[in-house]
Amino acid sequence: MARIRIGMIGGGQGAFIGAVHRIALRMDDRFDLVAGCFSRDPDNTRATAAELGVDPSRAYASWEEMADKEAALPADERIEVVSIVTPNHVHYGPAKRFMEKGFHVICDKPLCTTVEDAEDLARTVESTGRIFALTHNYTGYPMIRQAREMVRSGEIGDVRKVFVEYLQGWLSEPLEADGQKQAAWRTDPAQSGPVGALGDIGTHAFNLLEHVTGLRVTDLYAVLRTFVEGRRLDDDDMVLINLDNGASGTLCSSQVCFGRENDLHLRAFGTSGAISWRQEHPNSLDVTGENGAVTTLRTATGATGAASTSLTRTPSGHPEGYLEGFANIYAAFARRLRGEDDLEDAYPTVHDGVRGVRFISACLASSSAGAWTEL
């Protein structure tokens, strides 16, 4: 089947997540990267295009120009999808414009920086009929799919308690003061939006929690805090949550937990079982059975279901990781675009994005008011 023509906004030289998206789209050979506006700096865009083998004529100076010119190309030449991998403040604009111009969208998270924009994007998806995927990439891991199916089908009974943590340590020092690029934009309200760690990683934790359990956070009590002097956004968040089935729990996201790498850890305890999954060891899922013993399920084995196995590329014991999980979002998007059968909820949508932005908004309100806040 013909590869899907894709363009990219962001991801120029020096960026991190753009390169990840590109590996993800190459992994399963379903996309051709044929256009891009990789940076606000035209030199960077040109150099990046050259490096990536993108035709110079389709290396654009601005995303606005890219939208216009790609739309003007013949249908069998123009891109079909745009991937938006810019800092948060440049999600809403291009996402809306490209959908309106007839393109499907893959967008990095968080969806955008205000609830109003988020809802507007949701309406745009609906009105244009475009396919929209948000790269909450951790949902692309096979064992997250396994956990989701087990929890939703009642294998641990009714969920009572959830604990979700996303702990990093790389911002323990004021790296932004030294101009480290990844730190700089994430701690700059103009680029990151009203929150720091909460948007960068807290929204992943929130998304994973709702994705796996199928439950919704109804209200929360949040304490957002900044530990590193001079930093302008939160670098540590503690959130107490209630869920719509009566469960409760904690959600902690922090980028000042010294030494922690990318420690996203989800636990859910039900009335007759429990699950635990840790991103740094993604091919295992610990499941507590009715007798209280913990069984470690592993990807691509006889002990896991067809859905999780459909997300693997290697036999059991051949570890897959972050890039493969990310690629699974792209692959699901490709299948959806080509009309192939797929898993239910195969990729995060604009609605997940709206939830995430509302979560941020509720946390900000709660933390300011010192009060439980509905979401």
Cβ atoms 128, 99 nearer than 8 A: yes
Decide if residue 30 touches a copy of itself (CB under 8 A).
no
User: With respect to a copy of itself, which residue has the nearer C-beta, 190 or 294?
Assistant: 294
Distance CA 26, CA 373 (A): 42
Cβ atoms 207, 356 nearer than 8 A: yes
Which positions from 188 through 227 interact with a copy of itself, judged by CB under 8 A?
221, 223, 225, 227
Decide if residue 314 touches a copy of itself (CB under 8 A).
yes
CA distances from 87 to 65, 111, 190, 245 (A): 19, 10, 10, 35
Size of the site for a copy of itself (CB under 8 A): 81
Q: How far is the CB of 51 from a copy of itself (least distance, A)?
A: 8
Decide if residue 180 touches a copy of itself (CB under 8 A).
no
Decide if residue 294 touches a copy of itself (CB under 8 A).
yes
Which of 106, 144, 156, 350 lies at the binding interface for a copy of itself (CB under 8 A)?
A: 156
Cβ atoms 183, 175 nearer than 8 A: yes
Decide if residue 16 touches a copy of itself (CB under 8 A).
yes
Distance CA 311, CA 328 (A): 7
Decide if residue 368 touches a copy of itself (CB under 8 A).
no
Decide if residue 20 touches a copy of itself (CB under 8 A).
yes
Which positions from 159 through 178 interact with a copy of itself, judged by CB under 8 A?
160-161, 163, 165, 168-170, 172
| Per-residue contact flags (x/-) with a copy of itself for residues 235 to 274, judged by CB under 8 A | -x-x-x-------xxx-x-x-xxxxxxxx-----xxxxxx
Distance CA 218, CA 292 (A): 30
User: With respect to a copy of itself, which residue has the nearer C-beta, 68 or 289?
Assistant: 289
Q: Would you state the structure tokens that stand for residue 176, as one six-digit string?
A: 């932004």
Interior/surface letters 219-247, b for 16+ CB within 10 angstroms, e for the rest: bbbbebebebeebebbbbbbbebbbeeeb
User: With respect to a copy of itself, which residue has the nearer C-beta, 210 or 320?
Assistant: 320
Cβ atoms 7, 58 nearer than 8 A: yes
Q: Which residue has the tokens 């995303």?
A: 63
Decide if residue 14 touches a copy of itself (CB under 8 A).
no
User: With respect to a copy of itself, which residue has the nearer C-beta, 123 or 318?
Assistant: 318
Decide if residue 316 touches a copy of itself (CB under 8 A).
yes
